[in-house]
């Protein structure tokens, strides 16, 4: 039952991200450092791309599906925004669910409203995340920001689930994946670099 509720929540988050961002996908390329970096990765400037390599690889890969440059950039940003919303929502829901369990331990009786509060609070947190002006712009325009956030958020979503894994070998696999995602995030720069030293501290913490 809980798995079904979680899956429904993730589907709701993905749908909300599509409804919020898709109608505002820009058909134009914004001027700035992101556009110059993208041109470098696509070999349009004569110099090789250096910044945000994961984003650059995704831009190159998107060329297999369409040759329209603005559409390629927008779809990559949009897809990474949906992934970021899902990873962020998964992390928030896991933490709120843990808080609900602690609340139920001291409650006079178990309240179903606690679960509703966890799901509703997660949805509000994701909406607030997507509607931050800088994130909204990054999700609907050519920008490396959402790719830079998606990788550390994916690692964080796995970190908070490590205590739920009972088998040591499965926990080891999970930690390996977390390290891989954290490394890719650091390679992309920005938030990934900030999260890289935080990940081991979270994994070594007691809870």
What is the DSSP code string of 143-170? Answer: -SHHHHHHHHHHHHHHHTTGGG--SHHH
Residue 87 has pLDDT above 90, yes or no: yes
Residue 51 has pLDDT above 70, yes or no: yes
Q: How far is CA 52 from CA 177, 185, 187, in A?
A: 20, 9, 7
Identify the residue with better confidence: 102 or 207. Answer: 102
Of 137, 143, 21, 150, whose CA–CA distance to 88 is shortest? 150
> What pLDDT is stored for residue 207 in this prediction?
54
Q: Express as a percent the part of the chain with pLDDT over 90.
A: 26
Contact present, 62 and 171 (Cβ < 8 Å):
no
88: confidence class by pLDDT, cuts 50, 70, 90: very high
Residue 31 has pLDDT above 80, yes or no: no
Q: What rounded mean pLDDT belongs to the chain? A: 82
């Amino acid at each position: 039952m809980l798995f079904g509720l979680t899956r429904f929540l993730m589907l709701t988050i993905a749908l909300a991200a599509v409804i919020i961002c898709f109608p505002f996908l820009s058909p134009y390329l914004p001027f700035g450092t992101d556009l110059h970096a993208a041109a470098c990765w696509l070999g349009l400037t004569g110099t090789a791309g250096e910044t945000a390599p994961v984003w650059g690889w995704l831009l190159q890969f998107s060329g297999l599906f369409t040759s329209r440059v603005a559409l390629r950039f927008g779809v990559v940003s949009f897809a990474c925004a949906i992934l970021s919303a899902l990873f962020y929502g998964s992390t928030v829901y896991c933490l709120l669910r843990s808080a609900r369990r602690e609340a139920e331990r001291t409650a006079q009786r178990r309240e179903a409203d606690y679960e509703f509060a966890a799901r509703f609070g997660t949805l509000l947190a994701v909406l607030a995340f997507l509607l931050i002006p800088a994130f909204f712009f990054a999700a609907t325009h050519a920008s490396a920001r959402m790719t830079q956030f998606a990788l550390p958020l994916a690692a964080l979503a796995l970190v908070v689930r490590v205590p739920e894994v009972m088998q040591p070998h499965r926990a080891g696999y999970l930690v390996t994946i977390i390290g891989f995602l954290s490394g890719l995030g650091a390679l992309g720069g920005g938030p990934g670099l900030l999260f890289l030293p935080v990940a081991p501290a979270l994994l070594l913490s007691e809870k």
